[in-house]
Amino acid sequence: MKRAVRFAAPLVVLLLWTAARADLIGADRSELLSKLIPTVVNISVRKDEPKPPSGASGMVAAPDARTIKGYVGSGFVIDPSGVIVTNYHVLEYAFEITVMFSDGSRLPGKMLSASRLADLAIIKVEADHPLPAAHWGDSDALQVGDEVFAAGNPFGVGLSVSAGIVSGLNRDIQNSPYDDLIQTDAAINHGNSGGPLFDMQGNVIGVNSTIISPTAGSAGIAFAIPSDSARFVVDQLRTYGWVRPGWIGVKLQAVTREIADAMGMARPEGAILSWVMPNGPARRAGLEIGDVILRYDGMTPSDERALLRSIAETPVANTINLTVRHDGHQRSVPITVEAWPRDQWDARDAPTLVQRPHIVIPPDLGLGLAMLSAEDKAKLGMDNGLTGVLVDSVAPDSDPAHRGMVSGDVILRVQDTPVDTPDEVRSDVDAVRGRQRHFVLMLILPKVRDAPGPKWIALQLDDPGG
């Protein structure tokens, strides 16, 4: 009995200390989260997505056949002026972006630039005050087992936080040739895309982007773009409007055990050149197909993906040294990095978006509107300075539909005012509402004309008072 008493006191002290420390950690974590939550946003978009193939024949839908739907994602503020980072796939095909903040306020967003390959995009909102901004962390310092937490809008239920650990690093899930993803078991679901993965100091060390799951929900295998890679892409997009990666004009592949054996190498290492572009930096430096790059500027890349990332992130015009295996011998090759040719990069990375600004006048008119391109105006014979706004969609059973309006009509005037943008149409309609009118007058150039020239149509306003 005395022996039990002798050990009981230290055990009680240990338990009390552990409980107090847990309370302290919990309080610290709650305080940290309260500061970070305002930097995280929910993003809702309206999209025009191409319809998938249907029917046994597998025929693809017509190019202009689109399915309009809503999509919810996440993002985080990186600049108090209103610059927000999210995943590109959240905004793909979007024609309307709405950003909601933790206090419930909403602002329209505009996509500034994006990289399809990196799955990153930048949104800008115009706020009347500086916004709380998150800070980038150092993803290279991460280790497996480090605690992290994810913030975002899973399934559109609202801003949520989940905790976990770093489960793996440098994951390649075949999303791109540059994959270097952080794996985490923090619960990440659909809607978390584009949200931040924070470390325990409150720094963004990843951008949540992908899950692997046999169901629609989290299975504990989620992936984030490392902050070091994301920051490079975001900085390039903000500076140049595209990634502008470094380029030496080669195609690389991993040296496998079989390739190494065939080349007489003691072990697989480096990346072998399967193609050297004519007139590119590598060709001018004397590199040839079959050469193996072993080191890049003194560093030994872990694999060909790491080598590709190193080349892409090298500042343009920098001269670096490659250690190259050629015909069984090593040599040092100086090479000056150039910018990837813009047209070639855009062919693989340019965003797939609805190019024309598109708005829907709610709630009663049911008209989807878009800007007229120069090509549209030429086809319509409007290249003489005439202005107008394209009717991109007409809601079924709406008053415009009942009055014969169709997609392809052009609105020339609202009341007696010429219009040139969807926002001008909306503003002029709102002005008519403000005058307590029950109808708004529009001058329409019909797509299908029973007589030459435009015609006036009076559309009913269900709620003239707004």
Q: d(Cα 80, Cα 264) in Å, to the nearest integer? A: 57
Q: d(Cα 292, Cα 267) in Å, to the nearest integer? A: 13
Q: d(Cα 463, Cα 277) in Å, to the nearest integer? A: 63
Compute how many other C-beta atoms are within 10 angstroms of the C-beta atom of residue 412.
Answer: 19
Fold of 246-347: Pdz3 Domain (2.30.42)
Compute how many other C-beta atoms are within 10 angstroms of the C-beta atom of residue 408.
Answer: 16
pLDDT value of residue 465: 52
Active-site residue (options: 44, 74, 113, 119): 119
pLDDT value of residue 249: 92
Res. 323 pLDDT band, cuts 50 70 90: very high
Can you tell me the mean pLDDT for 167-186? Answer: 79
pTM: 0.68
Of 214 and 458, which is predicted with more confidence? 458
Q: d(Cα 334, Cα 319) in Å, to the nearest integer? A: 7
Q: Any idea which of 146-155, 218-227, 325-334 has the lowest mean pLDDT? A: 218-227
Is 129 an active-site residue? Answer: no
Q: d(Cα 138, Cα 135) in Å, to the nearest integer? A: 10
Fold of 39-50+63-125: Thrombin, subunit H (2.40.10)
> What is the chain's mean pLDDT, rounded?
82
Res. 453 pLDDT band, cuts 50 70 90: confident
Active-site residue (options: 44, 139, 167, 193): 193
Q: d(Cα 404, Cα 448) in Å, to the nearest integer? A: 10
pLDDT value of residue 156: 72
pLDDT value of residue 13: 47
Taking alpha carbons only, the member of 348, 142, 114 closest to residue 238 is: 114
Q: What residue spans define the domains of the chain?
A: 39-50+63-125, 139-240, 246-347, 358-460
pLDDT above 70 (res 273): yes
Preceding peptide of 52 cis, ω within 30°: no
pLDDT digits (tens, 9 = 90+) for 106-120: 998 988 899 998 999
Q: d(Cα 86, Cα 120) in Å, to the nearest integer? A: 6
Active-site residue (options: 44, 48, 74, 89): 89
The string of DSSP letters for 24-89 reads HHHHHHHHHHHHHGGGEEEEEEEEEEEPPP-STT-PPPPTT-EEEEEEEEEEEEEETTTEEEE-HH
pLDDT value of residue 449: 73
pLDDT value of residue 210: 83
Taking alpha carbons only, the member of 299, 352, 292 closest to residue 121 is: 352
pLDDT above 90 (res 25): no
Superfamily of domain 139-240: Trypsin-like serine proteases (2.40.10.10)
Please give the angle made by the CA atoms of 394, 398 and 401, to the nearest 5 degrees. 55
Is 119 an active-site residue? Answer: yes
Q: d(Cα 88, Cα 175) in Å, to the nearest integer? A: 13
pLDDT digits (tens, 9 = 90+) for 71-97: 789 999 999 999 999 999 999 888 788
Can you tell me the mean pLDDT for 44-61? Answer: 54
Domains 39-50+63-125 and 139-240 belong to one CATH topology: yes
Can you tell me the mean pLDDT for 427-443? Answer: 89
Domain 358-460 sits in CATH at 2.30.42.10
Res. 350 pLDDT band, cuts 50 70 90: confident
Res. 3 pLDDT band, cuts 50 70 90: very low
Taking alpha carbons only, the member of 374, 400, 388 closest to residue 445 is: 388
